[in-house]
Chain A
Amino acid sequence: MTETLTGAQITVRLLERQGIRIVTGYPGGAILPIYDALGQSTAIRHVLARHEQGAGFIAQGMARATGEVAVCMASSGPGATNLLTAIADAKLDSIPLVAITGQVPKAMIGTDAFQEVDTYGLSIPITKHNFLVSSTEELLEVIPRAFAIAASGRPGPVLIDIPKDVQSRAIEVAEWPAAGCALPAPAAPSVQLEQAAAMIAAAERPIFYLGGGVIHANAANLAVDLAEKANLPTVMTLMALGAMPVDHPLSLGMLGMHGAPYTNLALDECDLLIAVGARFDDRATGKVAAFCPQAKIIHIDIDPAELDKIKSAHIGIVADVGEALQRLLPLVSENPRNRWVDRINALKTAHPQPLPDLDNPRSHFGLIRSVAACLDDEAVIATDVGQHQMWVSQAYPLRRARQWLTSGGLGTMGFGVPAAIGAALAQPQRTVVCFTGDGSILMNIQELVTAAEQQVNVKIVLMNNAVLGLVHQQQTLFYGQRLFASEFQAMPDFIGVARALGIAAVDLDQAADPCAALQEAIARPGPCLIHAGIDAAQKVYPMVPPGAANRDMIGA
């Protein structure tokens, strides 16, 4: 049956057909036709953020927690520019996102019209792909294709810029396109998998190196199966935490700049590195020439441009990580590898992760463990960016893929609160905890209003040391202790701020029994800010100085 529909109605119908049930955004003049159509939709719930960047990170939280493509929207000009940081963040962490922006009418493009900016040009380097839609008819092709691109291969953000006249114009629609979904990746070549299995069998000191691709491919269980079968000690990048339970006997936790001493020392000794869905990021490798200097490398990644980018692989396999691991598993022989496992255990005993004051809930590590004690593995753990993020990555017992939401590649302060809201919207059955700092929370504090409005089950643990911790740390260690612009002179009353913005707040500093107060705050449904003062002199240790080899850790 032929229907006459506007571009805006077509856009909303296509989102419904993609199975989208929540979109988040912020309206404005150039996207009002779409908002008008969205208001008529009974299938899609719109969550109004309080800043477009918040909308972008709410969508990211949905996408990261579920693995499905999430949608955010903004108007032209400042609406679009405010989205850019969240889109760039999604690009660097390979998060599937479709961002829809309004644009001034086609006839006004290029005239410096009100709220006109070259959104297409601005978004080229930070999207996987982008579109400027030039006709209403094109929407029928572009929107499903945007979803397919976002979800296929290495996931990423796709931006669709839609001029207002394209939204308003009505056309006849006789037939609807199929929903866009992930296209299968080419299969891993059998010969290469056999070679990889032979290298694993021949290796004496192999290490399995898991990256965020393992999470994106939903391949965490397969990775653990392979590690167990071949007894592969396993390191994870920041993005892969949760892929293997941190207390698994083969887990070496996170590698790199703030990895545990035994982890980086084990990598220094390995003779085979099996990198899966990882991209040899500089925060993971340290000085590249000194990273796993004795190791041969097997590198499996869905993105051919990642192979040989930083380190040349002896075997480079372009494949979906899940498919490759599934087929590698039967080819790999069981191997007790006693000498290497014993050596790893000796390194763990001799060079442990320093976790001082774990039993004191008023210390940074003690607070993190006290929060963990209130939760099970079903909880989602989000963070902002800074010292608190690294401490949580070191001390929180992450055990589940997609349990951990953090801004890795771009390292965006302000990520945590909106991403946690997004995760809670997508998975309302879960408790979502957001660890944040006194710097990060102020970068998207306005989203506390969104949390209050939506009554999401988000617990924000604010670790307040009244300084920009990582800057303070680097100035202390590497800039002659010249502290500049890293100590806040004025500190808001965060408890008062949270209450003023409509959410409950608890100050652990005032609590006689902080563990009990924490337990009560986490158990109470709905959003809550939990404030805890911590010591500004504490550092994230160990630390590999920028540019140094991972074996040269400070504070190990």
Chain B
Amino acid sequence: MNAINRNEQNELARAVLEIDVANHPGVMSHVVGLFSRRACNVEGILCLPVGDGRQSRIWLLVNEDDRLPQMIRQVEKLEDVVAVRRHRADHAVFTELEDFFRA
């Protein structure tokens, strides 16, 4: 995807989710499964450990959807999820990564 196309994509309403989770195998599957089961595409994923590595932070770029509040509540319910914060699509975490995704 080139930069122009991506900018066009950004015209669509998007949201950025910041999710603090326990850092162990399978947690990512639990989180993204809640989106895939609703045929809701996750447009961007970032994940790195934080602090001493017992927790990770997952950043998701997702399309705005009427069901998003419900999906966020489902994410909050997961045993391994500590906290979920919702940001606007222009959050720096994805916009500053643009350089790594030039075609």
Contacts and interface: CB of A to CB of B under 8 A. Distances in A.
Interface of A: 120-121, 124-125, 128-130, 132, 149, 303-305, 308-309
A362 to B, nearest CB: 46
Interface of B: 25-26, 29-30, 33, 37, 69-70, 73-74, 76-79
B87 to A, nearest CB: 21
16 contacts: A120-B26, A121-B26, A124-B26, A124-B29, A124-B30, A125-B33, A125-B37, A128-B79, A129-B78, A129-B79, A303-B77, A304-B76, A305-B73, A305-B77, A308-B70, A309-B70
Nearest to B29: A124
Contact of B33 (A124, A129, A149, A304): A124
A132 B26 contact: yes
Contacts, number: 28
A467 to B, nearest CB: 34
Contacts of B70: 305, 308-309
B73 to A, nearest CB: 4
Nearest to B70: A309
A132 B25 CA distance: 9
A97 to B, nearest CB: 16
Contacts of A121: 26, 29
B62 to A, nearest CB: 17
A91 B79 CA distance: 15
Contacts of B79: 128-129, 149
Q: Nearest 4 A-B pairs (CB), nearest first?
A: A305-B73, A129-B79, A305-B74, A305-B77
Given A125-B37, A129-B79, A303-B77, A308 B69 contact: yes
Contacts of A128: 79
Nearest to B30: A124
A110 to B, nearest CB: 12
A132 B80 CA distance: 14
Contacts of A129: 78-79
A343 to B, nearest CB: 35
A108 to B, nearest CB: 16
A317 to B, nearest CB: 15
Given A129-B78, A303-B77, 16 more contacts: A121-B26, A121-B29, A124-B26, A124-B29, A124-B33, A125-B33, A125-B37, A128-B79, A130-B26, A149-B79, A304-B73, A304-B76, A305-B70, A305-B76, A305-B77, A308-B69
Contacts of B76: 304-305
A416 to B, nearest CB: 28
B12 to A, nearest CB: 24
A132 B26 CA distance: 9
B35 to A, nearest CB: 12
Contacts of B78: 129
A153 B98 CA distance: 42
Contacts of A304: 73, 76-77
A309 B77 CA distance: 14
Contacts of A124: 26, 29-30, 33
Nearest to B74: A305
A308 B78 CA distance: 19
Contacts of B69: 308
A149 B78 CA distance: 11
